[in-house]
Structure 1
Amino acid sequence: MAAKPAPVVAELGRPETPEETAARKARNSHNHRARQTTRNLVYALLASLVVVLVIVLAVPRSNEALERDVDVAAVAEQAQAGSDQPLAVPELPDGWSANAAELRRSETDGVTAWYTGYVTPENEYLGMHQGLDANPTWVAGLLARTLATGTVELDGVDWTVYDNRESPEDLGNARYGLTTEAGGTTFVLVGTATDAEFATMAAALTPTIQAQQ
């Protein structure tokens, strides 16, 4: 029985040589392995996404904003040991919440200050800094080295005003500020709160300020 002739390959117009057959099979094997590797990578990626989705769905979440509510009076009582001057604990109306309270020491000018940060009823920021034996450099740093724009009397206390709300520069939280001195203490109020909220904070500090005058 005669041997069956090799099939003609369309691309070549003739039968393959043994070398061409071996090269074709090697190429097909390589392509198969490459496709298999790509599929494995896709499957691995999908599996990873499924694991991440399961973790996200499994973690309990709250619809309430995660805001700290710091007990300023309790922190001040503990921090008072580090100060000879009474630390201010302003009594504020409902709607205010403190998210920070600590005794800080500036590395640049050596000033120790009692700091409390608040979220106002208008959801703005207002920080109270009570500098103990403060200096002008410390004050200027808190106010982004801006210039005073006037003065105002609030609850019998004279405050220097730093109104930078119309400034085109990005001054961070130093959009508005108030400063006053009492004895060896300098009070600096700074933030994005409204005039009325600054006045509320200033009035809440009046007892502490008058006690140090």
Structure 2
Amino acid sequence: MSEQSEAATAPEVPVRPEPADDPAAVAADREARQKKRLRQTVRDMVLSMLVVTGVVVFLVAPWNWRTPDPVKEVDAAPVIAGAREAFDWPVLAPLDLPATWRATSARVETADDGQPVVVLGWVSPATEYVGLQQSPTKITDFVPDVTLKGVQQDDVVLGTLTWTRYVNADETRRSLARTDAGITYVVTGTGPWDEIEGFTRTLRAG
């Protein structure tokens, strides 16, 4: 029998569709891949959240619970030395002030009559402000301005010097003032009298 006859009489074998050609199989395969990607996405999100949470926990941990210090310290020594060299009147500054006192301001300003004003300021260990302003100015508003319109009280002797107490209207500012040889010195602070007077006792002329 010829090859043509055998090919003609041989039964045809049905062609089975490949899985890739089966719509149901294709859909099932696509769904499986989508579920896999979804699981990977969820896992990546969870891992990312864990990392972020760990960083946040570290940042807010008890060892980081520190309130920023609002006090900006300055070096008052150069201003004090420069003022003492430039002016021919006694420039006062605290001597042997404990290291727990921190200088926060040190500058030389000019009063309205052209006279210099040496401005110094500190923060006490109790975080109260104490400042010293001194000038040969003749402006009558100098003491009222520095004391925040303080009302004159009594006199107090500190060492060998007599100072006059001033208290402003809401009693948030207590001040000591004195004038010596045309130079006016004003110590003013937000703390109690014993702190302000203790600071004033340390003042010396260079």
Shorter-chain TM-score tier: 0.5 to 0.7
Tell me the equivalent position of 1:69: 73
Q: TM-score, normalised by structure 1?
A: 0.58
Q: What letter corresponds to residue 129 of structure 1 in structure 2?
A: Q
Q: Which runs of 5+ in 2 are unaligned?
A: 1-58, 60-65
Q: What SS class does the counterpart of residue 191 from structure 2 fall into?
A: coil
- Quick one: distance in 2 between partners of 1:191 and 1:134? 23
Mapped contact 2:104–2:123 kept (Cα < 8 A): yes
Are residue 122 (structure 1) and residue 122 (structure 2) matched?
A: no
Larger Cα Rg: Structure 1 or Structure 2? Answer: 2
RMSD of aligned alpha carbons: 3.0
Residue pairs, 1:19-98, within 5 angstroms: 64-91=68-95, 92-98=97-103
Question: Structure 1 stretches (4+) deviating beyond 6 angstroms?
Answer: none
Tell me the equivalent position of 1:100: 105
Mapped contact 1:151–1:158 kept (Cα < 8 A): yes
1:40-67, CA deviations, whole angstroms, 9 ceiling, x for partnerless residues?
xxxxxxxxxxxxxxxxx9xxxx855153
- Quick one: distance in 2 between partners of 1:133 and 1:163? 22
1:152-180, CA deviations, whole angstroms, 9 ceiling, x for partnerless residues?
1112210000123xx44xx7x6x211101
1:63-120, CA deviations, whole angstroms, 9 ceiling, x for partnerless residues?
551532222222222344542223222121232111110011124x444210101101
Structure 1 residues 64 and 144, CA, compared in 2 at 3 Å: closer, same or farther? closer
Percent identity between the aligned chains? Answer: 28
Q: What SS class does the counterpart of residue 136 from structure 1 fall into?
A: coil
Q: What SS class does the counterpart of residue 93 from structure 2 fall into?
A: coil
Aligned-residue offset at 1:125: 0.8
- Quick one: distance in 1 between partners of 2:143 and 2:164? 12
- Quick one: distance in 2 between partners of 1:185 and 1:63? 41
Q: Figure out how many residues of one structure are paired with residues of the other and give that number.
A: 146
Q: TM-score, normalised by structure 2?
A: 0.60
Aligned-residue offset at 1:126: 1.0
